[in-house]
Structure 1
Amino acid sequence: MKLPAQFVERIEGIRAGRIEPAPARDAATVAVLRDHPEHGLQVFMLRRVSSMAFAPGAYVFPGGSVDPRDGDADIAWAGPSPAEWGAAFGAGEKLARELVCAAVRETFEESLILLAGPAETSVVDDTRGDAWEADRQALLARTLSLAEMLDRRGLVLRSDLLRPWAHWITPEVEPKRYDTRFFVAAIPPGQRAGDVSTEADHVTWVRPQDALERARAGEWFLMPPTMATLTELSEYRTVADVLAARRRIETHQPTAEIIDGEPYLVLPPVTGPRDARG
């Protein structure tokens, strides 16, 4: 993937030690899925506004950086433990807790989809209305933590509704970097995704194959991790098939190279769904 010409100087500076790569912030993103009666498996995507510092105009899944309060140990929790999530993602228990909470929080902030319920076996069926919007705005302003919101509403975080999918780290050449764990989840019954994110100017449900075709036609801009995830999801027919996949999580980090005087992003090999079937 060719990079803008100005990246040559940055690549050379990092190689020579004149430029220190930016630290990669821990982040989580969730590919929310549904089965459409006519179109089959679809994923919810947002187009980032053109004013964003990172990946303006790109179609992405809901997600964002970890909030330190995402590691609150007092949060009501159902499903795989932070230790189990840590084993899946190669992370410590504290970071794993933060990543799962960030995945749930960011998905609610950007789509109104909430992976939580009043009990360990139930899930909220509607997140629309003024009271929910007030909570969403408070989460965005960081005046309310996810743990505080769930506790006040008597809700339990449903980590069992998520599945680990991938791990991507932004290349060192980028001035803004993320260490992102990718999750997949089905939209809970009764809930509806909303066009609520201030960071997006368009949202849509789309077949993974269609998103890839639009990117190849130059209609959509997809970042490499998003394209890789869509390619993998396109191998499945239903949400149940995706959630049943047993993943072996590998860490992928593209590198930047100068080839014949031009800067290029060199992508790591990603081949197929990489199910870890025994």
Structure 2
Amino acid sequence: MRQPDAPLQPPIDAASLILMREGNGSDPEYLIAQRSSDLVFAAGAFVFPGGRLDPCDRTEGISRLPHLDPGDAAARIAALRETVEETGIAASREPADLIPFARWLPRHEAVKRRFDTRFYLTRMEERIEPVADGFETRSAFWATAAEILDRCERGDGRIIFPTRRILERLARFATFAEAREEAERLPERIISPWVEQRGDGDWLCIPDDAGYPVTAEPAASAFRY
């Protein structure tokens, strides 16, 4: 067993796309993928399309986005590539236009695979329906943030801790402009949850000044990997 003071394994660089489409007088919908049940990480969970960065993403990022930090550039390419691979939807031809929305990196030793995941926000104008790849993704669909949260509350699906917190944040926005304004106003930061001991048990917590309406959940109920 690894000692508590031993260094954590280096994280895996990853990226996800938060693709929003606005309705006519209804809440915005987001592109959601359900991971296959036989995957090692987050099996069966509802997620935003995405995955780990490939070497080709880094090469293309440097080539197409030389003005950006190489890690940011590669993550933008990866978020778009993974979305196409997992759902068949080409969300944008301009990775430079993606809006950094969140970045999560678990630091606790209980997390078996640590992903340093950048989440990018963009808007979909066309009414295109996704098609799951049948390998990493067993289904893909559009849904409001509230619908996914409600399904998981009823036991009809599950979401890992970062996805739940991001969906709760997205549920506050009525338009893409509102989401973009908050993303551009808040400083970019890495969210690394920690376990806090309280009178009623251990809680998994995040900072209370990063735009998330819910900042703690009982550690026993949190789906973390």
> What is the TM-score with the length of structure 1 in the denominator?
0.65
Q: Deviations over 1:118-155 (max 9, x none)?
A: xxxxxxxxxxxxxxxxxxxxxxxxxxxxxxxxxxxxxx
Deviates more, 1:56-65 or 1:182-191: 182-191
Q: Distance in 1 between matches of 2:208 and 2:151?
A: 20
The answer as to 2:4 corresponding to 1:15 is yes
Q: Distance in 2 between matches of 1:211 and 1:74?
A: 32
Q: Is the 8 A contact 1:113 1:193 kept in 2?
A: yes
Equivalence for 1:238: 175
Question: Which protein is bigger by CA-based radius of gyration?
Answer: 1
Q: Is the 8 A contact 1:110 1:196 kept in 2?
A: yes
1:74-223 maps to which residues of 2 (within 5 A)? 77=64, 81=65, 83-84=67-68, 93-116=69-92, 157-171=93-107, 172-189=109-126, 191-223=128-160
The answer as to 2:190 corresponding to 1:251 is yes
The RMSD of aligned alpha carbons is 2.8
Between structures 1 and 2, the one with greater helix share: 1
Q: Deviations over 1:134-192 (max 9, x none)?
A: xxxxxxxxxxxxxxxxxxxxxxx402441100110134322211110111111243644
Q: Distance in 2 between matches of 1:51 and 1:238?
A: 36
Equivalence for 1:26: 13
Q: Is the 8 A contact 1:115 1:158 kept in 2?
A: no
Q: Distance in 1 between matches of 2:21 and 2:125?
A: 9
Given residue 106 of structure 1, which amino acid in structure 2 is its aligned partner?
Answer: E
Change (3 A) 1:75 1:25: closer
Q: Distance in 2 between matches of 1:231 and 1:74?
A: 31
Q: Is the 8 A contact 2:13 2:115 kept in 1?
A: yes
Given residue 124 of structure 2, which amino acid in structure 1 is its aligned partner?
Answer: I
Give the alignment partner of residue 46 of structure 2, picking from 36, 42, 59. Answer: 59
Q: Is the 8 A contact 2:61 2:70 kept in 1?
A: no
Equivalence for 1:123: none
Task: Give the C-alpha shift of residue 67 in structure 1.
Answer: 0.5
Q: Distance in 1 between matches of 2:105 and 2:61?
A: 29
The answer as to 2:23 corresponding to 1:36 is yes
Change (3 A) 1:73 1:221: closer
Q: Distance in 2 between matches of 1:258 and 1:235?
A: 29
Given residue 4 of structure 2, which amino acid in structure 1 is its aligned partner?
Answer: R
User: Counterpart of 1:40 in 2: which secondary structure?
Assistant: coil
- In structure 1, stretches of 5+ residues that fail to align are 1-9, 85-92, 117-156
The answer as to 2:212 corresponding to 1:269 is no
Change (3 A) 1:158 1:256: same
Q: Is the 8 A contact 1:228 1:270 kept in 2?
A: no
> What is the TM-score with the length of structure 2 in the denominator?
0.79
Task: Give the C-alpha shift of residue 66 in structure 1.
Answer: 0.5
Task: Give the C-alpha shift of residue 56 in structure 1.
Answer: 0.9
Task: Give the C-alpha shift of residue 269 in structure 1.
Answer: 3.0
Q: Distance in 1 between matches of 2:80 and 2:9?
A: 26
Q: Distance in 1 between matches of 2:50 and 2:188?
A: 18
Greater relative contact order, per chain length (Cα 8 Å cut-off, separation 6+): 1
Task: Give the C-alpha shift of residue 194 in structure 1.
Answer: 2.1
The answer as to 2:164 corresponding to 1:227 is yes
What percent identity do the matched residue pairs reach?
A: 25
